[in-house]
């Protein structure tokens, strides 16, 4: 009975969490642009810019002062007609590539992008070689002795009878 109740309670909490807890928005109503399309672009760009004060949140999520200032800068440049790329370049020119949550594909970040897949590939090759080696071990067939052959036939005959 207790277990049933605990399960149901856990499910309820999870449902409430899903319904309410997924998006942490730090954008205040006064910041949002009037133009819905521009505002949507602003949000999309903000989600990809790192808040440097907290360093693990985007400026869209973070409540930090700097995050708010950067959100305003993004919106300001959008209204001035910058493209998304121009805005990313603008912020990265001042704060470095680290501010981009989507790191650019450059010589310095090749290891970051290719690394995980590379390690996986190496591991896969290693496994392949390992099993290959095991497979080619030839087990020589040792012929049955007369006694074993007799017992084998006896067993087989028994089976076919049943």
Helix (H, G, I), strand (E, B) or coil at 128: helix
CA distances from 62 to 49, 98, 101 (A): 11, 16, 14
27 vs 99, beta carbon nearer another protein: 99
9 vs 119, beta carbon nearer another protein: 119
17 vs 130, beta carbon nearer another protein: 130
**Residue 73 contacts another protein per CB under 8 A:** yes
Which residue from 10, 118, 126, 151 is in contact with another protein, where contact means CB under 8 A? 126
- Range in contact with another protein (rule: CB under 8 A) among 7-15, 32-40, 48-56, 77-85: 48-56
104 vs 126, beta carbon nearer another protein: 126
Which residue from 93, 107, 139, 146 is in contact with another protein, where contact means CB under 8 A? 93
Q: For residue 146, how far is the Cα from the chain centroid? A: 62
- Token pair 């650019």 is at which residue? 104
Residues 15-30, buried b or exposed e (16+ Cβ, 10 A)?
eeeeeeeeeeebbeee
Distance CA 3, CA 11 (A): 12
Task: Name the residues that contact another protein, by CB under 8 A.
Answer: 52-53, 55, 65-66, 69-70, 73, 92-98, 126, 130, 133-134
């Amino acid at each position: 009975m207790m277990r049933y109740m605990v399960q149901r309670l856990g499910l309820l909490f999870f449902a409430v969490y899903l319904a309410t807890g997924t998006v942490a928005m730090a954008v205040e109503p006064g910041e949002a642009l009037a133009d819905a399309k521009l505002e949507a672009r602003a949000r999309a760009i903000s989600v990809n810019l790192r808040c440097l004060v907290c360093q693990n949140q985007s400026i869209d999520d973070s409540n930090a002062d700097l995050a708010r200032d950067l959100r305003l800068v993004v919106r300001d440049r959008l209204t001035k007609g910058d493209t998304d790329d121009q805005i990313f370049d603008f912020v990265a020119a001042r704060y470095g590539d680290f501010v981009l949550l989507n790191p650019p594909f450059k010589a310095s970040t090749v290891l970051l992008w290719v690394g995980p897949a590379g390690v996986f590939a190496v591991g896969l090759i290693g496994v392949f070689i390992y099993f290959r080696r095991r497979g080619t071990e030839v087990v020589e067939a040792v012929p049955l002795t007369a006694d074993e052959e007799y017992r084998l036939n006896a067993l087989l005959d028994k089976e076919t009878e049943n």
